Amino acid sequence: PYPLYAEMRKTPIAREPDGSYVVSSYHLITSLLHDPRLSSDARNFPAGSRQAQLAAAGKFPIPFIRLDPPDHDRLRRMVTRQFGPPHAAGLVDSMRQELADVVEDLLDRVRGHHQIDIVDDFAYPFPVTVICRLLGVPAEDEQLFHAWADALVESLDPEVGQEAAAQGRQRALAARSELNQYMSKLISARQQQPGDDMLSRLATDNGPDGRLTSGDLVSTSGLLLIAGHETTVNLITNGMLTLLRHPEVLERLRHDPELAIPLVEELLRFEPPVQFNSQRVTTADIQIDGQTIPKGTQVYLMLAAANRDPEQFADSEQFIPDRQNNEHLGFGSGIHYCFGAPLARLEVQLALNTLAQRLINPRLVIDPPPYRPGAVLRGPRHLLVQIDGVA
Ligand code: HEM
């Protein structure tokens, strides 16, 4: 997609035949992500649109990624009290050893193998195991979330063809309803018998904002379960693919694990799992860059195009593992900036470091690998790697 993005940046605000707008330059996207007139609230989308339809059909409240202030801020704050700053550093850091154990265990399982699939053997099970442990969700139910996450992620993509669109909406609705039922049951169980997990803490929190209603609890915990799923998988896989294409960087990482810190930021810029944001709508006419985006318009923000904008990044098409001042948009920006960023960073740094240390002489089998369908989330479906063993 990257040559296409370079082409798009020549017209950084483009009106599409369906009336939506596509924005592709770094400074326009960052400015819009901080503009309160650009809403994430599904109910502000035009009547009949998928977003409005899915919002209206739901029995449970909307998760905070699809809400505006003040509801967004209140819910995000309640989760932050348990998870994020000032606790983030503490909680995420305290998980370091546990995460390392999960990673080592996954690699121990493929010890005698000479070919592995980075996706199925490693990148997929790792974040799922982590988020399940953190929330206190049984990991053996993972197959269920996998299917729900797929259907919900699919519903972020632009719709193509009427029949396929109708089926996609149906799948998204069914997935959300099953996820909500599943979370409701689990929350009731935790309320009766709290454990030492996030779900129990959220369910019993009596902070300054009061308790979460059971509906908010269901949609918030469902969001946490799903949001970090495929995104983290794709960053690990995109990362390993990029490293195998630049073996000298893989070698550097093997000798200098600290390189993982800037490297992960560069991967979020260079091969971001979330390529664009399809969930924004204007609540007023917005004048920007000499144009007016009318009220009620869906706006696509091309994060991955912004990440390669030469006006923001020197040598923007180059992969520079220790790039400085890397203000990429891989986690978004503004009030919806990725809530799981500290956890995702730690997971991916650890994953790439351990793969670099333990895979002996890894080589790509197929390049380019097969990609998963869909335009919003980008990452290989499989990434086959030949190895001489696992250390
Ligand atoms: C929001 C990317 C991992 C939870 C976002 C957004 C992006 C993003 C681009 C902004 C969406 C918007 O503006 O509408 C990523 C990437 C990840 C990752 C690339 C992995 C490499 C995670 C993890 C979690 C998580 C592990 C959960 C523990 C969330 C939540 C939001 C969010 C709850 C909504 C925040 C809000 O609306 O205030 N993420 N994410 N993410 N992410 Fe992540």
What string of DSSP letters covers 193-236? Answer: S--SSHHHHHHH---TT-PPPHHHHHHHHHHHHHHTHHHHHHHH
Q: Give the model's pLDDT for residue 91.
A: 65
| 198 belongs to a structural domain | no
| 72 belongs to a structural domain | no
- Scanning the structure block, which residue is given the tokens 């850091």? 93
Task: Provide residues with CB under 6 Å of ligand 1.
Answer: 40, 64-65, 76, 131, 223-224, 227-228, 231-232, 235, 273-274, 277, 279, 330-332, 336, 338-340, 343-344
- 3-class DSSP assignment, residue 364: strand
CA-CA distances (angstroms) from residue 187 to 77, 145, 219, 233, 287? Answer: 20, 16, 11, 26, 45
Atom 39 in ligand 1: residue holding the nearest Cα: 338
pLDDT in tens, 36-62: 999 999 889 888 787 777 777 767 788
pLDDT in tens, 258-309: 999 999 999 999 999 999 998 899 999 999 999 999 999 999 999 999 999 9
Alpha carbon of 200 to ligand 1 centroid (Å)? 22
Mean pLDDT, rounded, for 221-231: 86
Alpha carbon of 33 to ligand 1 centroid (Å)? 14
Residue in 125, 74, 72, 73 with CA at minimum distance from that of residue 102: 125
- Measured from the Cα of 40, ligand 1's closest atom is 14
Alpha carbon of 297 to ligand 1 centroid (Å)? 23
Atom 34 in ligand 1: residue holding the nearest Cα: 65
Task: Give dist(CA 309, CA 15) in Å, integer.
Answer: 20
85 upstream amide cis, omega within 30 of 0: no
Instruction: Name the helix (H) or strand (E) containing 247.
Output: helix 247-255
Mean pLDDT, rounded, for 185-202: 86
On average, the pLDDT of the chain sits at: 90
| Straight-line distance from the first to the last Cα atom of the chain, in angstroms, rounded to the nearest whole number | 36
Q: Is the pLDDT of residue 92 over 80?
A: no
- Measured from the Cα of 345, ligand 1's closest atom is 21
For residue 82, give every residue at least 6 positions away whose Cβ sits within 8 Å of its Cβ, in sequence order, or none.
Answer: 91, 198, 201, 202, 205
Mean pLDDT, rounded, for 101-116: 95
Q: How confident is the model at residue 202 (pLDDT cuts 50, 70, 90)?
A: confident
- 3-class DSSP assignment, residue 190: helix
CATH number at residue 94: 1.10.630.10
Task: Give dist(CA 30, CA 14) in Å, integer.
Answer: 16
For residue 314, give every residue at least 6 positions away whose Cβ sits within 8 Å of its Cβ, in sequence order, or none.
Answer: none
Alpha carbon of 341 to ligand 1 centroid (Å)? 7
Q: Give the model's pLDDT for residue 110.
A: 95
| 70 belongs to a structural domain | no
Mean pLDDT, rounded, for 322-339: 96
Q: How confident is the model at residue 196 (pLDDT cuts 50, 70, 90)?
A: confident
Q: In this structure, what DSSP letter does residue 160 have?
A: -
> Do the Cβ atoms of 122 and 116 come closer than 8 Å?
yes
The percentage of the chain sitting over the pLDDT mark of 90, rounded to a whole number, equals 59
Q: Is the pLDDT of residue 121 over 80?
A: yes
The three-point CA angle 18-19-20 to 5° equals 95
For residue 3, give every residue at least 6 positions away whose Cβ sits within 8 Å of its Cβ, in sequence order, or none.
Answer: none
pLDDT in tens, 151-189: 887 777 777 777 777 787 888 888 888 888 898 898 888
| 245 belongs to a structural domain | yes
Ligand 1 pocket: which of 145, 231, 279 to mutate (most atoms within 8 A of CB) = 231
Ligand 1 pocket: which of 62, 269, 331 to mutate (most atoms within 8 A of CB) = 331
Query: Looking at this protein, which amino acid is placed at residue 77?
Result: R
Atom 17 in ligand 1: residue holding the nearest Cα: 231
Q: Give the model's pLDDT for residue 111.
A: 93
125 upstream amide cis, omega within 30 of 0: no
Which pTM does this prediction carry?
A: 0.94
Q: Give the model's pLDDT for residue 370.
A: 96
The partner residues of 21 in beta bridges, in order of sequence, read 15, 299
Name the domain count of the chain.
1
Task: Give dist(CA 17, CA 158) in Å, integer.
Answer: 13
> Do the Cβ atoms of 308 and 6 come closer than 8 Å?
yes
Alpha carbon of 338 to ligand 1 centroid (Å)? 4
Atom 1 in ligand 1: residue holding the nearest Cα: 338
Q: Is the pLDDT of residue 85 over 60?
A: no
Q: Is the pLDDT of residue 324 over 60?
A: yes
Tell me whether residue 271 is exposed, middle or buried, using C-beta atoms within 10 angstroms of its C-beta: 0 to 12, 13 to 18, 19 or more: buried
Alpha carbon of 81 to ligand 1 centroid (Å)? 17
Tokens standing for residue 173: 């609705």
pLDDT in tens, 346-391: 999 999 999 999 999 999 999 999 999 888 899 999 999 999 999 9
Domain that holds residue 285: 2-53+82-138+228-386
| 298 belongs to a structural domain | yes
Q: How confident is the model at residue 326 (pLDDT cuts 50, 70, 90)?
A: very high
ipTM of predicted assembly, 2 dp: 0.99
| 171 belongs to a structural domain | no
Task: Give dist(CA 223, CA 323) in Å, integer.
Answer: 32
| 342 belongs to a structural domain | yes
Atom 12 in ligand 1: residue holding the nearest Cα: 336
Q: Is the pLDDT of residue 86 over 60?
A: no
Atom 20 in ligand 1: residue holding the nearest Cα: 232
Q: Give the model's pLDDT for residue 83.
A: 72
Q: Give the model's pLDDT for residue 154.
A: 78
Q: Give the model's pLDDT for residue 90.
A: 60
